[in-house]
Structure 1
Amino acid sequence: MSTPGLGLPMVVPAPDLPARVRIHEVGPRDGLQNEKATVPTGVKAEFIRRLADAGLRTVEATSFVHPKWVPQLADAEALFPQVKDLKGVHLPVLVPNMRGLERALALGADRIAVFASATESFAKANLNRTVEESLAVFEPVVARAKDEGAHVRGYVSMCFGDPWEGAVPLHQVAHVCGALLDMGCDELSLGDTIGVATPGHVLELLAALNEQHVPTSVLGVHFHDTYGQALANTLAALEHGVTTVDASAGGLGGCPYAKSATGNLATEDLVWMLHGLGIDTGVDLGRLVATSEWMADRLGRPSPSRTLRALSHKEQ
């Protein structure tokens, strides 16, 4: 046990938790894609640099989707060259198809993400395809990315609940996860896109995936805080052995294709909890808070992160 300093939690380790967690920062991509106003490219680049300076070593930079679908990220070609040479920082980019992959590879991207759905309704809304059709599109994309030596992440959305279909059967999630692993994905991110998961549900899904030969070592979790469950769900995942957690600086983001999806788990809130548990993240909480405050100023509104608000209040 250690005593907290200014702006630091008391450290009280809990048994059987990972010694280190890798935070997969999604703010610049998943966070900003949901903004009504387009953020200038230079501000996005500075945001990524500041996140890296705060100690985040995986920062999802942008998405190579057609500007028609996500106009907020239409500047991918202009943005990525401004940040790709950051030392010691992985910069994954989302690609929807082979064209997106080619655009990303041409700029030197070496970490690629594809975005699948566990439900038919969301696959139709987000990808305009069935689940099987979307997997068929991703298969050659993943194969080409692997041939080029890229690391590939597979996002699986609607793993716990769907606004059109309700609760999602475990076997549907397992099927999509298995298909993505079979085609060569290096890791998977389990998305609670509308934030309806609870800890027991998280543990049940993780156990079901293990039974279907999806190892915990390839899994990350991506929780939304719609019902205030994101940190509780994260702790459940850590207890199961998960060591990769997605989060968004300042709690930015949601999902433009699911209106009931509110903000992502705030990176500051996650770091506060992890550091309090004695889990290493490599992140400087003070610098992270300053970065999210800086971004909130650029967006013209306060951050929903409770840790950020608490620490900012202390400084006043």
Structure 2
Amino acid sequence: MPFTARDLRYEPEKSFPALEAFLRQRAQRYLGPLQYDAEEVDLVVSHVVERLVALGLLGGGTRQPETVLDQLSEAQFYAFLNNCVRHKAIDRLRRHHHQVTPFSALEESEEAQGEADPLGEVTVSLWGIPPFAHPEDAALAAATQRELRALLKHCIKALASAPRQLRAVLQELETIGALDLAREVVEELQAIAVTPLSAETPLPHLSQHRDHAYKKLRSCLQSQSSNLAVVVALRLTEYETWLSSERKKEAAGEVAVPIQELARAGLTLSEVKQGLRQLAFEGLLNWHEGDEIVHLDAARLRRLARYYRIE
């Protein structure tokens, strides 16, 4: 059952079960190797609940003044809770000396150690720090930004030719609380005589359908971007198939891409270099001004495939 900040403030008894279920689901996702440790999951959930109580949001009623959190939209509030859970889960992983999973590591800034001020979280762009490791981050952000929301809907609707992949993405949107976005996608598809699979339809091999869908979403988001770094990143990922060839395997799993080959289809060499500079600045490439070759390995290609940046 969806809930809002207002529900937590004025009707905590009704909304708390939904809040707890959401926090537990996100905690298990971010805890990685600790996801089946009930004590660790409880600790993360309790931490967020305590912060909400301290802020006067959970059960505060009219006894405590409203804060900026009360003014958030439903999507923004879910994103705020998601970030609080993520920060605490990463903190617990560090305390247990577990290596942070690639998904969390790509989202988390190197400077962020331990707890993050939840009020400070709200002032930070909901898009987080690029690159995005997962399209759900784009979903949470796009739910509050009209242009980006339209782009995301376009990319999700493009999955209509693969009904099971579309259902997997809609199910993920519903899980993270972006119910209005999922509802709009379904209504717009039905308007053009496309009926997505019912939520009750079983999806064997769900994780595979979801992974294929995410790959298509990333590619779609990148291809629709006008940001030079994103466009260059997309072009570099086109060379991923080269790594699977026997010739590239013999070359220590690397592919060398001449930057001249990237300057095509509307991009000048100067624009390519500008995009490469941005990618190198963000640590996605080991490229220096004056280099005529970009060296890529499988790990860099995976990160480039997940890269997205707003203007």
TM over 0.5: no
More helix by share: 2
* TM bracket, shorter-chain basis: under 0.3
Which protein is richer in strand relative to its size? 1
- In the superposition, the TM-score normalised over structure 1's length comes to 0.23
Question: Greater relative contact order: 1 or 2 (C-alpha under 8 angstroms, separation 6 or more)?
Answer: 1
Structure number with greater Rg is 2
Q: TM-score w.r.t. structure 2 length?
A: 0.23
